[in-house]
Amino acid sequence: MGKQANLYSFSGVDTLAPALRAYVISCQEAGLARHGVFKVGVSGGSLPKTLAQALLAPPSSDNNEADTVKWGKWEIFFADERAVPLDHQDSNYALLKAELLDKLPADAEKPAVHPIDIQYLDDTQELADQYEQTLVRSFASRDSVKLPIFDLLLLGCGPDGHTCSLFPGHELLRETSAWVAPIEDSPKPPPKRITLTLPVVNHSVRVAFVATGGGKKGIMKEIFEEGNGLPCALVNEGTGERCSWFVDNAAVEGVSYPRRPFSL
Ligand SMILES: O=C(O)[C@H](O)[C@@H](O)[C@H](O)[C@H](O)COP(=O)(O)O
């Protein structure tokens, strides 16, 4: 059996955030070495806030260069997005903007951010197809690459075990050819969304989940002990040691799965 997902558990977000920062920066450096940019996909939920806590902290003074977020080299994509205007309260773009992008220091270089094209909001298939074209333009043509390879996907885990907008038992989990797919019956509102598909998620160089709070402990037990075909478990199985979970102790209380001390 291949190596399994890494589970890193911390006392709380304050101790999780510096480790997440170190992890993201190591993925950034690997991306820069590979192709001169850092291609990262992010989801919504609580992730942008935790990410901001991790990445907006000043670099440690003893290792300034190695601890630097090189924003100007980042290309940010959305792992999933709701079919709403970009300033809507349900928009993952709006959330990332408010939590992170608007808080970047004025003199910092800015990342290239790829939101959905709102002219297609009324047609979620077209919205997904157009977002796929955004990926095609960034990752080279679909003809030359079977699947895009993100340097890192930063994902959340829903209380039902969903990730991105891939929900338990949904037919979208069986998608094998599209890179980006529409969903019109999301059990979590709003119903109309687009999402990266499971093959794309599993093809990423690295996947990091961030899950905190005691409300997650039931689903974490199911994901790590049984799997049950839950979307998060399918990512664990598809990515193995390329997958790392950053959680707090409350989220994994009583979960039988080996924790690792965090190291790069
Ligand atoms: O658009 C969405 O609904 C989010 O991208 C979703 O996939 C989120 O990441 C999880 O629901 C976890 O959310 P929390 O981090 O808030 O628990």
Q: What is the ipTM for the molecules in this complex?
A: 0.94
Which atom of ligand 1 is least distant from the CA of 82?
1
Taking the centre of ligand 1 as the mean of its atom positions, its distance from the CA of residue 264, in whole angstroms, is: 26
CA distances, 134 to each of 42, 158, 204 (Å): 15, 26, 17
Q: What is the pLDDT of residue 145?
A: 75
β partners of residue 8? 246
CB contact burial 11-38 (16+ within 10 A = b; e otherwise): eebeebbbbbbbbbbebbeebeeeeebb
| 110: pLDDT strictly greater than 70 | yes
Residue 110 inside a domain? The answer is yes
SS (HEC) of the chain: CCCCCEEEEECCHHHHHHHHHHHHHHHHHHHHHHHCCEEEEECCCCHHHHHHHHHCCCCCHHHCCCCCCCHHHEEEEECEEECCCCCCCCCHHHHHHHHCHHHCCCCCCCCEECCCCHHHCCCHHHHHHHHHHHHHHHHCCCCCCCCCCCCEEEECCCCCCCECCECCCCHHHHCCCCCEEEECCCCCCCCCEEEECHHHHHHCCCEEEEECCHHHHHHHHHHHHHCCCCHHHHHHHHHHHHEEEEEEHHHHCCCCCCCCCCCC
Residue 258 inside a domain? The answer is no
Q: In what order do the strands lie in the sheet with 180-183?
A: 80-82, 193-196, 180-183
Residues 212-225 have pLDDT tens digits of: 999 999 999 999 99
Taking the centre of ligand 1 as the mean of its atom positions, its distance from the CA of residue 161, in whole angstroms, is: 10
Contacts of 228 (CB under 8 A, 6+ apart): 161, 222
| 1: pLDDT strictly greater than 60 | no
Taking the centre of ligand 1 as the mean of its atom positions, its distance from the CA of residue 121, in whole angstroms, is: 20
Cα separation, 178 vs 148, whole angstroms: 11
- Ligand 1-lining residues (CB < 6 angstroms): 43-47, 80, 92, 156-158, 162-165, 188
Average pLDDT over residues 9-18: 97
CB atoms within 10 A of CB 214: 12
Structure tokens given for 212: 């905190």
The pLDDT mean for the chain works out to: 95
Q: In what order do the strands lie in the sheet with 6-10?
A: 6-10, 243-248, 207-211, 152-155, 38-42, 74-78, 112-113
Residue 1 inside a domain? The answer is no
pLDDT confidence band for 63 (50 / 70 / 90): confident
Nearest CA owner, ligand 1 atom 14: 45
Testing ligand 1's pocket by substitution, the residue of 13, 16, 20, 47 carrying the most ligand atoms inside 8 A of its CB is: 47
CATH number for the domain harbouring residue 102: 3.40.50.1360
Q: Containing domain of residue 207, as a range?
A: 6-252
Taking the centre of ligand 1 as the mean of its atom positions, its distance from the CA of residue 157, in whole angstroms, is: 6
Q: What is the pLDDT of residue 55?
A: 97
Q: What are phi and psi of 249, to 5 degrees?
A: -60, -35
Taking the centre of ligand 1 as the mean of its atom positions, its distance from the CA of residue 80, in whole angstroms, is: 9
Which atom of ligand 1 is least distant from the CA of 81?
1
Residue 181 inside a domain? The answer is yes
Residue 190 inside a domain? The answer is yes
Q: What is the pLDDT of residue 258?
A: 95
Residues 166-213 have pLDDT tens digits of: 999 999 999 999 999 999 999 999 999 999 999 999 999 999 999 999
**The total number of structural domains that make up the chain:** 1
Nearest CA owner, ligand 1 atom 1: 44
Taking the centre of ligand 1 as the mean of its atom positions, its distance from the CA of residue 140, in whole angstroms, is: 29
Residue 264 inside a domain? The answer is no
Residue 259 inside a domain? The answer is no
Residue 216 inside a domain? The answer is yes
